[in-house]
Amino acid sequence: MDTQKPYDPEHIQTIISECKVEKWALIPLLQKIQEAIGYIPSEAIKPIARHLKLYPSEVQGVIEFYAGFSMKPKGKHVFKVCRGTACHVKGSRSILSGIEKKLGIKDGETSADYACSLETVACLGACFLAPTMMAGKEYYGKLSLGKIPSIVDHVTGEREDKDT
């Protein structure tokens, strides 16, 4: 997903109609919708349920259960800061504060232009790299406050102006 796309019922219906009518198809269908527009709109729950012959509450329950699904738009670049024990002990709270300051958003927020989202996660499974964060599918470990600006600029494609 390169940019945030608005909710388009016809586009969603096209994605749904390409899906087989089987219970096991729910998660792949949700993944396709989220990949296509960046999130799963609440308006899509009933058409998904109708197509797969499920209750809307079953679809909603799966979306809410899996942290990988979102019902609200996220930014093009999603930063995830680990708050697991190893990362916490090694200073992930200050890393989170540094990223909040650099991005101008708080944990759980998305920038107004949908460029960046910031969230904390229970564990990234990379304790040996603590403190750790992810940006997209890339891991960044052994973080310090000094590394944050260059990582964020690298991920977002921005470059700091440097006097030479």
Computed on alpha carbons and rounded to an integer, the radius of gyration of the chain in Å comes to 18
User: What pLDDT is recorded for position 67?
Assistant: 78
Please, are residues 29 and 16 in contact by the beta-carbon 8 Å criterion?
A: yes
Q: Is the dihedral of CA 81, 84, 86, 91 positive or negative?
A: positive
Q: Classify domain 77-156 at the CATH superfamily level.
A: Glutaredoxin (3.40.30.10)
Q: Where in the chain is the domain with CATH 1.10.10?
A: 9-65
From CA 10, how far away is CA 7, in angstroms rounded?
9
Q: Where in the chain is the domain with CATH 3.40.30.10?
A: 77-156
User: What pLDDT is recorded for position 159?
Assistant: 59
Q: Which residues of the chain are under the pLDDT cut of 50?
A: 1-3, 160-164
What does the block give as tokens for 51?
A: 């197509």
Q: Which CATH number fits domain 9-65: 1.20.1330, 1.10.10, 1.10.3470, 1.20.120?
A: 1.10.10
Q: Which residues pair with 79 in a beta bridge?
A: 118, 135
**CA-wise closest residue to 98 among 55, 150, 47, 139:** 150
Q: Is pTM, for the whole model, over 0.85?
A: no
